Chain A
Protein backbone atom coordinates (compact mmCIF):
# COMPACT_ATOMS: atom_id res chain seq x y z
CA UNK A 1 0.00 0.00 0.00
CA UNK A 2 1.53 3.25 -1.02
CA UNK A 3 -0.60 5.80 0.75
CA UNK A 4 -0.21 7.22 4.23
CA UNK A 5 -3.68 8.81 4.36
CA UNK A 6 -5.61 6.19 6.19
CA UNK A 7 -9.20 6.85 6.99
CA UNK A 8 -9.75 3.77 9.12
CA UNK A 9 -7.13 1.93 11.15
CA UNK A 10 -7.64 -0.92 13.56
CA UNK A 11 -5.19 -2.25 16.13
CA UNK A 12 -5.56 -5.77 17.46
CA UNK A 13 -9.30 -5.70 17.06
CA UNK A 14 -11.01 -8.65 18.70
CA UNK A 15 -14.75 -9.15 18.99
CA UNK A 16 -16.82 -11.79 20.73
CA UNK A 17 -20.51 -12.62 20.45
CA UNK A 18 -20.92 -14.18 23.88
CA UNK A 19 -18.21 -16.88 23.93
CA UNK A 20 -17.76 -16.99 20.18
CA UNK A 21 -14.85 -14.95 18.87
CA UNK A 22 -15.92 -13.42 15.57
CA UNK A 23 -12.88 -11.20 14.95
CA UNK A 24 -9.33 -12.23 15.82
CA UNK A 25 -6.57 -9.63 16.04
CA UNK A 26 -7.66 -7.66 13.02
CA UNK A 27 -5.16 -4.99 11.97
CA UNK A 28 -6.27 -3.09 8.93
CA UNK A 29 -5.66 0.27 7.29
CA UNK A 30 -8.25 1.59 4.89
CA UNK A 31 -7.01 4.40 2.64
CA UNK A 32 -8.98 7.61 2.36
CA UNK A 33 -11.13 8.45 -0.65
CA UNK A 34 -11.00 4.99 -2.19
CA UNK A 35 -13.26 2.01 -2.55
CA UNK A 36 -12.02 -0.96 -0.54
CA UNK A 37 -13.82 -4.27 -0.69
CA UNK A 38 -14.06 -6.91 1.99
CA UNK A 39 -14.38 -10.45 0.66
CA UNK A 40 -14.43 -13.87 2.23
CA UNK A 41 -16.71 -16.86 2.77
CA UNK A 42 -19.94 -16.54 4.75
CA UNK A 43 -19.41 -16.19 8.49
CA UNK A 44 -15.82 -15.00 8.17
CA UNK A 45 -16.53 -11.72 9.99
CA UNK A 46 -16.80 -9.24 7.09
CA UNK A 47 -20.09 -7.74 8.20
CA UNK A 48 -19.02 -7.84 11.84
CA UNK A 49 -15.89 -5.86 10.99
CA UNK A 50 -17.92 -3.41 8.93
CA UNK A 51 -20.39 -2.89 11.76
CA UNK A 52 -17.56 -2.17 14.18
CA UNK A 53 -16.70 0.98 12.26
CA UNK A 54 -19.89 2.78 13.25
CA UNK A 55 -20.35 0.79 16.45
CA UNK A 56 -23.72 -0.48 15.32
CA UNK A 57 -22.60 -3.88 16.62
CA UNK A 58 -23.20 -2.65 20.13
CA UNK A 59 -26.93 -2.76 19.50
CA UNK A 60 -26.78 -6.52 19.43
CA UNK A 61 -26.46 -7.51 23.08
CA UNK A 62 -23.68 -9.71 24.43
CA UNK A 63 -20.98 -8.21 22.22
CA UNK A 64 -17.49 -7.65 23.64
CA UNK A 65 -14.92 -5.65 21.73
CA UNK A 66 -11.20 -5.26 22.43
CA UNK A 67 -8.59 -3.26 20.61
CA UNK A 68 -8.72 0.10 18.90
CA UNK A 69 -10.42 1.52 15.87
CA UNK A 70 -9.20 4.88 14.64
CA UNK A 71 -11.38 6.76 12.22
CA UNK A 72 -9.78 9.91 10.86
CA UNK A 73 -7.22 9.58 13.62
CA UNK A 74 -9.67 9.32 16.51
CA UNK A 75 -10.22 6.15 18.51
CA UNK A 76 -13.97 5.58 18.28
CA UNK A 77 -14.01 3.78 21.63
CA UNK A 78 -12.71 6.83 23.49
CA UNK A 79 -15.20 7.91 26.17
CA UNK A 80 -15.60 11.36 24.64
CA UNK A 81 -16.80 9.96 21.31
CA UNK A 82 -20.46 10.64 20.61
CA UNK A 83 -22.24 7.75 18.87
CA UNK A 84 -24.47 10.25 17.08
CA UNK A 85 -21.48 12.11 15.67
CA UNK A 86 -19.72 8.86 14.78
CA UNK A 87 -22.73 7.63 12.82
CA UNK A 88 -22.95 10.99 11.12
CA UNK A 89 -19.32 10.63 9.98
CA UNK A 90 -19.59 6.94 9.15
CA UNK A 91 -22.76 6.24 7.19
CA UNK A 92 -23.99 2.76 6.43
CA UNK A 93 -25.91 1.20 3.55
CA UNK A 94 -27.43 -2.20 4.19
CA UNK A 95 -27.85 -5.38 2.21
CA UNK A 96 -31.55 -4.89 1.69
CA UNK A 97 -32.67 -1.39 0.71
CA UNK A 98 -34.21 0.02 3.85
CA UNK A 99 -35.88 3.33 3.17
CA UNK A 100 -37.98 4.49 6.09
CA UNK A 101 -41.73 4.08 5.50
CA UNK A 102 -42.14 7.82 5.00
CA UNK A 103 -41.94 10.06 1.93
CA UNK A 104 -38.85 10.34 -0.27
CA UNK A 105 -38.50 13.95 0.88
CA UNK A 106 -38.61 13.05 4.58
CA UNK A 107 -36.23 10.15 4.07
CA UNK A 108 -33.56 12.48 2.72
CA UNK A 109 -34.10 14.91 5.58
CA UNK A 110 -34.36 12.29 8.33
CA UNK A 111 -30.67 12.26 9.20
CA UNK A 112 -30.04 15.97 8.91
CA UNK A 113 -33.07 16.73 11.08
CA UNK A 114 -31.63 14.52 13.82
CA UNK A 115 -28.38 16.44 13.79
CA UNK A 116 -29.92 19.93 13.51
CA UNK A 117 -31.66 21.95 16.20
CA UNK A 118 -35.44 21.55 16.19
CA UNK A 119 -37.09 23.37 13.26
CA UNK A 120 -33.84 25.06 12.32
CA UNK A 121 -34.10 23.99 8.69
CA UNK A 122 -36.19 26.32 6.57
CA UNK A 123 -38.37 25.01 3.78
CA UNK A 124 -36.05 26.38 1.11
CA UNK A 125 -32.99 24.87 2.81
CA UNK A 126 -34.74 21.53 3.04
CA UNK A 127 -35.74 21.66 -0.64
CA UNK A 128 -32.18 22.48 -1.56
CA UNK A 129 -30.76 19.61 0.50
CA UNK A 130 -33.22 17.14 -1.01
CA UNK A 131 -32.49 18.27 -4.56
CA UNK A 132 -28.74 18.13 -4.02
CA UNK A 133 -28.83 14.66 -2.46
CA UNK A 134 -31.12 13.21 -5.12
CA UNK A 135 -29.10 14.80 -7.89
CA UNK A 136 -25.91 13.24 -6.49
CA UNK A 137 -27.42 9.77 -6.80
CA UNK A 138 -29.09 10.50 -10.16
CA UNK A 139 -32.60 10.22 -8.80
CA UNK A 140 -33.69 13.84 -9.07
CA UNK A 141 -35.02 13.62 -12.62
CA UNK A 142 -37.02 10.49 -11.78
CA UNK A 143 -38.39 11.64 -8.45
CA UNK A 144 -38.59 15.43 -8.54
CA UNK A 145 -42.34 15.27 -9.16
CA UNK A 146 -42.89 12.49 -6.67
CA UNK A 147 -41.09 13.70 -3.57
CA UNK A 148 -44.13 12.98 -1.41
CA UNK A 149 -44.31 9.39 -2.63
CA UNK A 150 -43.74 6.81 0.06
CA UNK A 151 -40.17 5.64 -0.30
CA UNK A 152 -41.07 1.99 0.16
CA UNK A 153 -43.05 2.07 -3.10
CA UNK A 154 -39.98 2.87 -5.23
CA UNK A 155 -38.14 0.26 -7.30
CA UNK A 156 -35.42 -1.61 -5.39
CA UNK A 157 -32.64 0.13 -7.29
CA UNK A 158 -34.18 3.51 -6.54
CA UNK A 159 -34.62 2.54 -2.90
CA UNK A 160 -30.96 1.62 -2.57
CA UNK A 161 -29.89 4.85 -4.24
CA UNK A 162 -32.20 6.71 -1.90
CA UNK A 163 -30.53 5.01 1.07
CA UNK A 164 -27.19 6.35 -0.18
CA UNK A 165 -28.75 9.76 -0.81
CA UNK A 166 -30.08 9.79 2.75
CA UNK A 167 -26.50 9.77 4.04
CA UNK A 168 -25.20 12.57 1.83
CA UNK A 169 -26.73 15.60 3.60
CA UNK A 170 -24.82 14.52 6.74
CA UNK A 171 -21.60 14.86 4.76
CA UNK A 172 -20.09 11.59 5.98
CA UNK A 173 -16.42 10.82 5.47
CA UNK A 174 -16.90 7.08 5.24
CA UNK A 175 -19.72 5.06 3.70
CA UNK A 176 -19.95 1.43 4.77
CA UNK A 177 -21.82 -0.84 2.38
CA UNK A 178 -22.94 -4.29 3.44
CA UNK A 179 -23.59 -6.21 0.22
CA UNK A 180 -25.45 -3.22 -1.24
CA UNK A 181 -26.26 -4.90 -4.54
CA UNK A 182 -27.28 -8.35 -3.36
CA UNK A 183 -30.98 -7.50 -3.62
CA UNK A 184 -30.62 -5.76 -6.99
CA UNK A 185 -30.73 -7.05 -10.53
CA UNK A 186 -27.86 -6.54 -13.01
CA UNK A 187 -29.12 -3.12 -14.09
CA UNK A 188 -29.55 -1.95 -10.50
CA UNK A 189 -26.10 -3.28 -9.59
CA UNK A 190 -24.56 -1.42 -12.49
CA UNK A 191 -26.29 1.79 -11.46
CA UNK A 192 -25.09 1.53 -7.84
CA UNK A 193 -21.54 0.65 -8.90
CA UNK A 194 -21.49 3.60 -11.30
CA UNK A 195 -22.67 5.83 -8.50
CA UNK A 196 -19.91 4.55 -6.19
CA UNK A 197 -17.28 5.20 -8.85
CA UNK A 198 -18.51 8.76 -9.26
CA UNK A 199 -18.58 9.42 -5.51
CA UNK A 200 -15.17 7.79 -4.97
CA UNK A 201 -12.73 10.45 -3.93
CA UNK A 202 -15.39 12.43 -2.10
CA UNK A 203 -16.09 9.55 0.28
CA UNK A 204 -14.20 6.53 1.52
CA UNK A 205 -16.18 3.42 0.64
CA UNK A 206 -15.82 0.10 2.40
CA UNK A 207 -17.93 -2.55 0.71
CA UNK A 208 -18.67 -6.08 1.80
CA UNK A 209 -19.41 -8.28 -1.17
CA UNK A 210 -19.74 -11.93 -2.08
CA UNK A 211 -19.56 -11.01 -5.73
CA UNK A 212 -15.90 -11.22 -6.68
CA UNK A 213 -16.51 -9.74 -10.09
CA UNK A 214 -17.96 -6.72 -8.33
CA UNK A 215 -14.98 -6.49 -5.98
CA UNK A 216 -12.65 -6.51 -9.01
CA UNK A 217 -14.74 -3.95 -10.86
CA UNK A 218 -15.24 -1.35 -8.17
CA UNK A 219 -12.48 -1.52 -5.58
CA UNK A 220 -8.90 -0.30 -5.63
CA UNK A 221 -7.95 -2.44 -2.64
CA UNK A 222 -9.31 -5.72 -1.44
CA UNK A 223 -9.28 -7.44 1.93
CA UNK A 224 -9.71 -11.19 2.27
CA UNK A 225 -10.98 -12.52 5.58
CA UNK A 226 -11.31 -16.07 6.81
CA UNK A 227 -12.77 -17.34 10.09
CA UNK A 228 -12.50 -13.95 11.76
CA UNK A 229 -8.94 -13.28 10.68
CA UNK A 230 -7.67 -10.84 8.12
CA UNK A 231 -5.67 -13.05 5.77
CA UNK A 232 -4.62 -10.67 3.05
CA UNK A 233 -4.96 -7.00 2.19
CA UNK A 234 -3.61 -5.87 -1.18
CA UNK A 235 -4.55 -3.84 -4.16
CA UNK A 236 -7.37 -5.62 -5.92
CA UNK A 237 -5.51 -6.67 -9.03
CA UNK A 238 -2.61 -8.20 -7.09
CA UNK A 239 -4.93 -10.02 -4.69
CA UNK A 240 -6.90 -11.58 -7.51
CA UNK A 241 -4.00 -12.31 -9.85
CA UNK A 242 -1.21 -13.30 -7.49
CA UNK A 243 -2.56 -13.96 -4.02
CA UNK A 244 0.05 -14.60 -1.37
CA UNK A 245 -1.92 -17.05 0.74
CA UNK A 246 -3.27 -20.37 -0.34
CA UNK A 247 -6.68 -19.72 1.22
CA UNK A 248 -7.00 -16.46 -0.68
CA UNK A 249 -6.07 -18.22 -3.91
CA UNK A 250 -8.62 -20.94 -3.25
CA UNK A 251 -11.33 -18.39 -2.55
CA UNK A 252 -10.69 -16.00 -5.43
CA UNK A 253 -10.42 -18.94 -7.79
CA UNK A 254 -13.78 -20.05 -6.39
CA UNK A 255 -12.64 -23.42 -5.12
CA UNK A 256 -14.94 -22.79 -2.13
CA UNK A 257 -17.08 -20.03 -0.70
Chain B
Protein backbone atom coordinates (compact mmCIF):
# COMPACT_ATOMS: atom_id res chain seq x y z
CA UNK B 1 0.00 0.00 0.00
CA UNK B 2 1.54 3.32 -1.04
CA UNK B 3 2.09 6.14 1.39
CA UNK B 4 -0.65 8.38 -0.04
CA UNK B 5 -3.28 5.70 0.41
CA UNK B 6 -1.98 4.91 3.89
CA UNK B 7 -2.06 8.58 4.82
CA UNK B 8 -5.58 8.93 3.41
CA UNK B 9 -6.80 6.03 5.50
CA UNK B 10 -5.07 7.26 8.62
CA UNK B 11 -6.63 10.70 8.20
CA UNK B 12 -10.08 9.45 7.14
CA UNK B 13 -10.90 7.61 10.37
CA UNK B 14 -10.10 10.48 12.80
CA UNK B 15 -12.10 12.80 10.51
CA UNK B 16 -15.06 10.44 10.69
CA UNK B 17 -14.77 10.36 14.48
CA UNK B 18 -14.57 14.17 14.65
CA UNK B 19 -17.61 14.51 12.35
CA UNK B 20 -19.51 12.10 14.58
CA UNK B 21 -18.55 13.98 17.73
CA UNK B 22 -19.49 17.37 16.27
CA UNK B 23 -22.77 16.03 14.94
CA UNK B 24 -23.76 14.44 18.22
CA UNK B 25 -22.68 17.52 20.17
CA UNK B 26 -24.75 19.86 18.00
CA UNK B 27 -27.74 17.54 17.88
CA UNK B 28 -27.95 16.35 21.42
CA UNK B 29 -26.88 19.37 23.42
CA UNK B 30 -29.53 20.17 26.02
CA UNK B 31 -29.16 21.43 29.58
CA UNK B 32 -27.10 18.98 31.63
CA UNK B 33 -29.08 17.12 34.20
CA UNK B 34 -28.10 16.31 37.74
CA UNK B 35 -29.15 12.77 38.44
CA UNK B 36 -30.10 13.73 41.99
CA UNK B 37 -32.94 15.90 40.70
CA UNK B 38 -36.14 14.53 39.15
CA UNK B 39 -36.40 15.30 35.48
CA UNK B 40 -39.99 16.43 35.80
CA UNK B 41 -38.83 19.32 38.01
CA UNK B 42 -36.19 20.23 35.42
CA UNK B 43 -38.92 20.31 32.77
CA UNK B 44 -36.91 17.98 30.61
CA UNK B 45 -38.06 14.81 28.94
CA UNK B 46 -36.59 11.35 29.14
CA UNK B 47 -35.50 11.35 25.50
CA UNK B 48 -33.30 14.40 25.94
CA UNK B 49 -31.87 12.92 29.11
CA UNK B 50 -30.93 9.77 27.22
CA UNK B 51 -29.32 11.85 24.49
CA UNK B 52 -27.30 13.91 26.99
CA UNK B 53 -26.01 10.80 28.68
CA UNK B 54 -25.13 9.20 25.40
CA UNK B 55 -23.20 12.29 24.43
CA UNK B 56 -21.24 12.10 27.64
CA UNK B 57 -20.20 8.60 26.67
CA UNK B 58 -18.20 9.89 23.65
CA UNK B 59 -15.12 10.78 25.74
CA UNK B 60 -15.48 7.44 27.55
CA UNK B 61 -15.55 5.72 24.16
CA UNK B 62 -12.38 7.54 23.03
CA UNK B 63 -10.50 6.70 26.23
CA UNK B 64 -11.67 3.07 26.08
CA UNK B 65 -10.39 2.77 22.50
CA UNK B 66 -6.97 4.17 23.41
CA UNK B 67 -6.74 1.92 26.48
CA UNK B 68 -7.71 -1.11 24.36
CA UNK B 69 -4.95 -0.48 21.84
CA UNK B 70 -2.44 -0.03 24.66
CA UNK B 71 -3.60 -3.30 26.27
CA UNK B 72 -3.21 -5.08 22.93
CA UNK B 73 0.36 -3.85 22.49
CA UNK B 74 1.33 -4.67 26.07
CA UNK B 75 -0.14 -8.18 25.85
CA UNK B 76 1.34 -8.97 22.44
CA UNK B 77 4.73 -7.34 22.77
CA UNK B 78 5.65 -7.48 26.42
CA UNK B 79 3.86 -10.44 27.95
CA UNK B 80 4.98 -13.91 26.91
CA UNK B 81 2.36 -16.58 26.24
CA UNK B 82 3.16 -18.17 29.61
CA UNK B 83 2.80 -14.94 31.54
CA UNK B 84 0.21 -15.21 34.31
CA UNK B 85 -1.35 -11.80 33.59
CA UNK B 86 -1.69 -12.68 29.92
CA UNK B 87 -3.20 -16.04 30.76
CA UNK B 88 -5.79 -14.26 32.90
CA UNK B 89 -6.53 -11.36 30.54
CA UNK B 90 -6.76 -13.12 27.20
CA UNK B 91 -9.61 -15.57 27.91
CA UNK B 92 -11.65 -12.75 29.46
CA UNK B 93 -11.16 -10.60 26.37
CA UNK B 94 -12.24 -13.47 24.12
CA UNK B 95 -15.30 -14.29 26.22
CA UNK B 96 -16.42 -10.66 26.54
CA UNK B 97 -15.93 -9.97 22.84
CA UNK B 98 -18.13 -12.93 21.93
CA UNK B 99 -21.11 -11.50 23.85
CA UNK B 100 -23.59 -10.01 21.34
CA UNK B 101 -24.01 -6.21 21.42
CA UNK B 102 -27.71 -6.65 22.13
CA UNK B 103 -26.84 -7.82 25.66
CA UNK B 104 -24.98 -4.57 26.29
CA UNK B 105 -27.83 -2.77 24.54
CA UNK B 106 -30.36 -4.21 27.00
CA UNK B 107 -28.14 -3.22 29.92
CA UNK B 108 -27.83 0.29 28.51
CA UNK B 109 -31.61 0.51 28.00
CA UNK B 110 -32.17 -0.55 31.61
CA UNK B 111 -29.86 2.13 32.97
CA UNK B 112 -30.56 4.88 30.46
CA UNK B 113 -34.23 4.56 29.70
CA UNK B 114 -35.87 2.85 32.65
CA UNK B 115 -33.69 4.17 35.48
CA UNK B 116 -32.46 7.48 34.12
CA UNK B 117 -32.37 9.27 37.46
CA UNK B 118 -30.95 6.64 39.75
CA UNK B 119 -28.30 5.32 37.36
CA UNK B 120 -24.93 7.00 37.40
CA UNK B 121 -22.57 7.93 34.61
CA UNK B 122 -20.18 5.37 36.08
CA UNK B 123 -22.53 2.47 35.37
CA UNK B 124 -23.05 3.71 31.81
CA UNK B 125 -19.32 4.18 31.33
CA UNK B 126 -18.83 0.63 32.58
CA UNK B 127 -21.21 -0.67 29.89
CA UNK B 128 -19.36 1.30 27.21
CA UNK B 129 -16.05 -0.10 28.44
CA UNK B 130 -17.42 -3.65 28.37
CA UNK B 131 -18.73 -3.09 24.86
CA UNK B 132 -15.62 -1.42 23.47
CA UNK B 133 -12.50 -2.77 25.18
CA UNK B 134 -12.74 -6.51 24.38
CA UNK B 135 -13.50 -6.10 20.68
CA UNK B 136 -10.97 -3.34 20.09
CA UNK B 137 -8.29 -5.18 22.04
CA UNK B 138 -8.93 -8.42 20.18
CA UNK B 139 -8.84 -6.78 16.76
CA UNK B 140 -5.70 -4.82 17.65
CA UNK B 141 -4.07 -8.04 18.91
CA UNK B 142 -4.91 -9.76 15.63
CA UNK B 143 -3.50 -6.81 13.70
CA UNK B 144 -0.24 -7.01 15.65
CA UNK B 145 -0.04 -10.80 15.20
CA UNK B 146 -0.51 -10.40 11.47
CA UNK B 147 2.81 -8.60 11.20
CA UNK B 148 5.22 -11.03 9.62
CA UNK B 149 7.65 -12.36 12.23
CA UNK B 150 10.47 -12.01 9.70
CA UNK B 151 10.17 -8.23 9.97
CA UNK B 152 10.83 -8.41 13.69
CA UNK B 153 13.70 -10.85 13.11
CA UNK B 154 15.23 -8.51 10.56
CA UNK B 155 15.07 -5.56 12.92
CA UNK B 156 16.28 -7.44 16.02
CA UNK B 157 19.14 -8.99 14.06
CA UNK B 158 20.72 -5.58 13.50
CA UNK B 159 20.28 -4.57 17.14
CA UNK B 160 16.95 -2.77 17.14
CA UNK B 161 15.29 -2.40 20.52
CA UNK B 162 11.73 -3.58 21.15
CA UNK B 163 10.50 0.03 21.24
CA UNK B 164 12.21 0.77 17.92
CA UNK B 165 10.69 -2.32 16.32
CA UNK B 166 7.22 -1.40 17.59
CA UNK B 167 7.38 2.27 16.63
CA UNK B 168 9.10 1.83 13.27
CA UNK B 169 7.49 -1.34 12.00
CA UNK B 170 4.77 -3.00 14.07
CA UNK B 171 2.68 0.12 14.67
CA UNK B 172 2.81 1.55 11.11
CA UNK B 173 2.14 -1.84 9.55
CA UNK B 174 -0.72 -2.75 11.86
CA UNK B 175 -2.27 0.70 12.00
CA UNK B 176 -4.82 0.22 9.23
CA UNK B 177 -6.04 -3.04 10.72
CA UNK B 178 -6.25 -1.44 14.17
CA UNK B 179 -8.21 1.50 12.75
CA UNK B 180 -10.50 -1.00 11.04
CA UNK B 181 -11.16 -2.64 14.40
CA UNK B 182 -11.83 0.75 15.98
CA UNK B 183 -14.35 1.61 13.25
CA UNK B 184 -16.06 -1.73 13.80
CA UNK B 185 -16.32 -1.01 17.54
CA UNK B 186 -17.67 2.52 16.97
CA UNK B 187 -20.21 1.07 14.57
CA UNK B 188 -21.41 -1.40 17.21
CA UNK B 189 -21.54 1.29 19.90
CA UNK B 190 -23.57 3.64 17.70
CA UNK B 191 -26.00 0.83 16.95
CA UNK B 192 -26.53 0.34 20.70
CA UNK B 193 -27.01 4.12 21.10
CA UNK B 194 -29.63 4.12 18.32
CA UNK B 195 -31.43 1.27 20.05
CA UNK B 196 -31.50 3.19 23.36
CA UNK B 197 -32.98 6.28 21.70
CA UNK B 198 -35.57 4.17 19.89
CA UNK B 199 -36.69 2.53 23.12
CA UNK B 200 -36.81 5.92 24.87
CA UNK B 201 -39.48 7.05 22.36
CA UNK B 202 -41.57 4.02 23.18
CA UNK B 203 -41.31 4.65 26.92
CA UNK B 204 -41.78 8.42 26.80
CA UNK B 205 -45.40 9.50 27.04
CA UNK B 206 -46.97 11.80 25.96
CA UNK B 207 -44.84 12.60 22.97
CA UNK B 208 -45.43 15.19 20.26
CA UNK B 209 -45.34 14.46 16.56
CA UNK B 210 -42.47 16.90 16.07
CA UNK B 211 -40.40 15.11 18.72
CA UNK B 212 -40.98 11.79 16.99
CA UNK B 213 -39.82 13.30 13.70
CA UNK B 214 -36.69 14.67 15.38
CA UNK B 215 -35.91 11.39 17.09
CA UNK B 216 -36.45 9.35 13.94
CA UNK B 217 -34.15 11.81 12.18
CA UNK B 218 -31.52 11.28 14.89
CA UNK B 219 -31.84 7.51 14.74
CA UNK B 220 -31.59 7.63 10.94
CA UNK B 221 -28.38 9.63 11.13
CA UNK B 222 -26.99 7.27 13.76
CA UNK B 223 -27.80 4.25 11.60
CA UNK B 224 -26.15 5.91 8.61
CA UNK B 225 -23.06 6.45 10.74
CA UNK B 226 -23.23 2.79 11.82
CA UNK B 227 -23.24 1.80 8.17
CA UNK B 228 -20.46 4.24 7.28
CA UNK B 229 -18.15 3.04 10.05
CA UNK B 230 -18.93 -0.55 9.18
CA UNK B 231 -18.03 0.05 5.51
CA UNK B 232 -14.81 1.86 6.44
CA UNK B 233 -13.99 -1.01 8.81
CA UNK B 234 -14.52 -3.60 6.07
CA UNK B 235 -12.39 -1.56 3.69
CA UNK B 236 -9.53 -1.23 6.17
CA UNK B 237 -9.63 -4.85 7.27
CA UNK B 238 -10.31 -6.52 3.94
CA UNK B 239 -6.77 -7.83 3.53
CA UNK B 240 -4.67 -7.93 6.68
CA UNK B 241 -1.48 -8.74 4.75
CA UNK B 242 -1.93 -6.05 2.14
CA UNK B 243 1.32 -4.33 3.18
CA UNK B 244 3.43 -7.25 2.06
Contact = CB atoms under 8 A, between A and B. Distances in A.
A92 B157 CA distance: 6
Contacts of A94: 150, 153-154, 157
Given A61-B80, A62-B82, A94-B153, A101 B244 contact: yes
A88 B159 contact: yes
A88 B153 contact: no
Interface string A135-160: 00000000000000000100000000
B160 interface: yes
A54 interface: yes
A188 interface: no
B84 interface: no
Interface stretch (A23-31, A110-118, A241-249): A110-118
Interface string B31-75: 000000000000000000000000000000000000000000000
Contact of B159 (A87, A93, A100, A101): A87
B139 to A, nearest CB: 21
A101 B243 contact: yes
Nearest to A178: B153
Given A56-B153, A62-B82, A101 B173 contact: yes
A91 B244 contact: no
Given A62-B82, A101-B173, A101-B244, A83 B159 contact: yes
B164 A114 contact: yes
A85 B159 contact: yes
Contacts of A56: 153, 156-157
Nearest to B164: A114
A208 interface: no
Contacts of A163: 154
Interface SS of chain A: helix, strand, loop or mixed? helix
Most A CB atoms within 10 A — which of B83, B155, B159? B159
A54 B159 CA distance: 10
Most A CB atoms within 10 A — which of B150, B158, B244? B158
A234 interface: no
A8 interface: no
Contacts, number: 66
B154 to A, nearest CB: 4
A100 B153 contact: no
Contact of A84 (B83, B159, B243): B159
A192 interface: no
Interface string A91-133: 1111010111100000000110011000000000000000000
Contacts of A98: 148, 150-151, 153-154
B81 interface: yes
Interface string B77-109: 000111100000000000000000000000000
Contact of B151 (A62, A93, A100): A100
Contacts of A152: 244
A54 B157 contact: yes
B211 interface: no
A161 interface: no
22 contacts: A56-B157, A62-B80, A85-B159, A86-B159, A87-B158, A88-B159, A91-B157, A94-B157, A96-B150, A100-B154, A100-B155, A100-B169, A101-B169, A101-B243, A110-B158, A111-B158, A115-B159, A166-B154, A166-B158, A167-B157, A167-B158, A170-B159
Interface of A: 54, 56, 59, 61-62, 83-88, 91-94, 96, 98-101, 110-111, 114-115, 152, 163, 166-167, 170
Given A93-B157, A101-B173, A167-B158, 4 more contacts: A61-B81, A98-B148, A114-B158, A114-B164
